[in-house]
Amino acid sequence: MPILVVEDKDSLRTMLRKTLESRGHTVDEAGDAYEARKKLQATRYLLVLTDLRLPGGSGFDVLEAAREADPETPVIVMTAFGTVEEAVRAMKQGAADFLTKPVDTDHLLLLLDRAIDRRRLRAEYLLLKEEHQRRFGLPRVLGDDPGLKETMLAIQRAAQSDATVLILGESGTGKELMARSLHQLSSRAKAPFVAINCAAIPEALLENELFGHERGAFTGANARKIGKAETAQHGTLFLDEIGDLPLALQAKILRLVQERQFERVGGLATISVDVRVVAATNRSLTEAVAQKQFREDLFFRLSVLSVTIPPLRRRRGDIVPLAEAFLERYAAELGRKGLSLSEAARRALLDHAWPGNVRELQNSLERAVILVEGQAIGPEHLRLAPPAGEALSLGDVMDLSGPLAEVARRAAARAEDEAIALALRRADGDRAAAAASLGVSTSTLARRLKES
Ligand SMILES: Nc1ncnc2c1ncn2[C@@H]1O[C@H](COP(=O)(O)OP(=O)(O)OP(=O)(O)O)[C@@H](O)[C@H]1O
Ligand SMILES: [Mg+2]
């Protein structure tokens, strides 16, 4: 693939072309932003090198055109000395790097190699990722937290029946993963798992997506379309974000759940299907019912068998093991060996509030594996967002409902568990030392460890 050089001054453009050609690259040239845009629409480039000040537009237009044409194409911008703000702005808009004028050819070649390398790695990474997902199918539900285990047990029990299941939990807690494992565990595993996100599809299209339509149902419907409810025949229909289901459709979903029947849009015939419905939401349906945004009858029907996935901040014990599992997964995908979490990184992970739950943790580890240069992942590679505003209250990390004595007992048990875990970590797993620092005997510590 060729490199595109965009520069209005002929002498500099020629110099750049020669430098790049000396490295064995093919080079295309453009003298202004307009010409550059035309070329970018016609050809795929390995890389774009552009001046920021150009006749007929600016380097920002070139940057935009390049990103439109192919977001994977790196763009290096050139700026005159003393206009760093512009370079910073360009980087924010997606430039891979910047170079100040007068251009130093060694520096140029260095940036070039780096950008091309990164692009190649990224492409390989995406391929590997796809291959991995194809080969290993779904990720397992990981974690030993008692709350999560309870949810998983409920899911296993539900899998034996055909009951409708409602999965509750904050965003990123693993609702879809749980729905998929429910499907895998059930006798429907060989039939399709079909997911539909009720929040992502505009109301007008949702019914059509769900139930399909007959030919001629509306202008443009020139063939019959089968909806997801039918595609899921003998399998599982996953209604994600059901809290966002428009009122108008709720009655139809209720009928689907109760009678497994519906009509296609514009159709008269009643269709019967054999599907299990699993629904999920991160909204409080009770509140939605109170606000008359959600039908009470549908809510009751869905709540017969509901499970709640605890947020990650309420299962702190799972944070580090999950992080290690994700680290291992991404390191294997990227062919990185010997990576590990530094002590400071573990502490940062434990101190973080995880508003985005497991998804946030997973993304953070994926980024860290890409960013880390040596073998030890530090807090700086995790890029954890600072906590929003006020500090965590106890209610954020534990369940404060129920009788006072019960709450106090839970809080004490919880504090002791964490103190023990911390003491063990500080003592590098040496139980005698940990017991001493906690002022208990080793046998008491051993008993407590067995209980928790
Ligand atoms: N316990 C877990 N073990 C392994 N991976 C998990 C676990 N929980 C969540 N994940 C992973 O975290 C990511 C987010 O999970 P998922 O999409 O199921 O969450 P969600 O609750 O549906 O989120 P949202 O409400 O944002 O749609 C997925 O990649 C999933 O594989
Ligand atoms: Mg989801």
CA of 358 to the centre of ligand 1 (A): 6
pLDDT in the model for residue 79:
87
Q: List pLDDT tens digits, range 308-326.
A: 999 999 999 999 999 999 9
Residues 165 and 188 in one domain: yes
Residues 240 and 121 in one domain: no
> Is residue 167 one of the residues assigned to a domain?
yes
Residues 293 and 331 in one domain: no
The best mutation among 173, 282, 314, 360 to test binding of ligand 1, ranked by most ligand atoms within 8 Å of the C-beta, falls on 173
CA of 10 to the centre of ligand 2 (A): 54
Give the range among 92-96, 391-395, 398-402 with minimum mean pLDDT.
Answer: 391-395
The number of domains in the chain is 4
Residue bearing the CA closest to ligand 1, atom 18: 174
Q: List pLDDT tens digits, range 70-116.
A: 878 899 999 887 777 888 888 888 899 989 888 899 999 999 999 98
105, 133, 161 - which closes a domain = 133
Task: Compute the average pLDDT of residues 287-314.
Answer: 93
Q: From the CB of 172, is ligand 1 less than 6 Å away?
A: yes
CA of 423 to the centre of ligand 2 (A): 37
pLDDT over threshold 60, residue 287:
yes
382, 407, 435 - which closes a domain = 382
CB atoms near residue 62 (< 10 Å): 31
Task: Compute the average pLDDT of residues 356-380.
Answer: 93
Residues 378 and 415 in one domain: no
> Is residue 166 one of the residues assigned to a domain?
yes
Rg from Cα positions in the chain: 28
pTM, full prediction: 0.60
pLDDT in the model for residue 396:
63
Angstrom distance (rounded) from CA 268 to CA 427: 72
Q: List pLDDT tens digits, range 135-168.
A: 555 557 888 888 898 898 899 889 989 999 999 9
Q: What angle do CA 145, 149, 150 make, to 5 degrees?
A: 120
Residues 283 and 154 in one domain: yes
Query: Which ligand is nearest the CA of 363, by number?
Result: 1
Outline where 174-316 has alpha helix (H). Answer: 175-185, 203-211, 228-231, 247-259, 285-290, 296-303
Cα 39 to chain centroid, rounded: 35
Residue 175 CA, closest ligand 1 atom number: 21
The domain that contains 13 carries what CATH number? Answer: 3.40.50.2300
The best mutation among 129, 167, 170, 176 to test binding of ligand 1, ranked by most ligand atoms within 8 Å of the C-beta, falls on 176
> Is residue 140 one of the residues assigned to a domain?
no
133, 159, 189 - which closes a domain = 133
- At 57, the pLDDT band (50, 70, 90 cuts) reads confident
> Is residue 390 one of the residues assigned to a domain?
no
> Is residue 298 one of the residues assigned to a domain?
yes
> Is residue 426 one of the residues assigned to a domain?
yes
Domain that includes residue 317, residue range: 312-382
pLDDT over threshold 80, residue 393:
no
Residues 116 and 190 in one domain: no
Query: Which ligand is nearest the CA of 180, by number?
Result: 1
* Percent of residues, the chain, with pLDDT higher than 90: 56
Residues 172 and 304 in one domain: yes
Mean pLDDT of the chain: 89
> Is residue 265 one of the residues assigned to a domain?
yes
Residues 241 and 302 in one domain: yes
The domain that contains 419 carries what CATH number? Answer: 1.10.10
Angstrom distance (rounded) from CA 24 to CA 59: 25
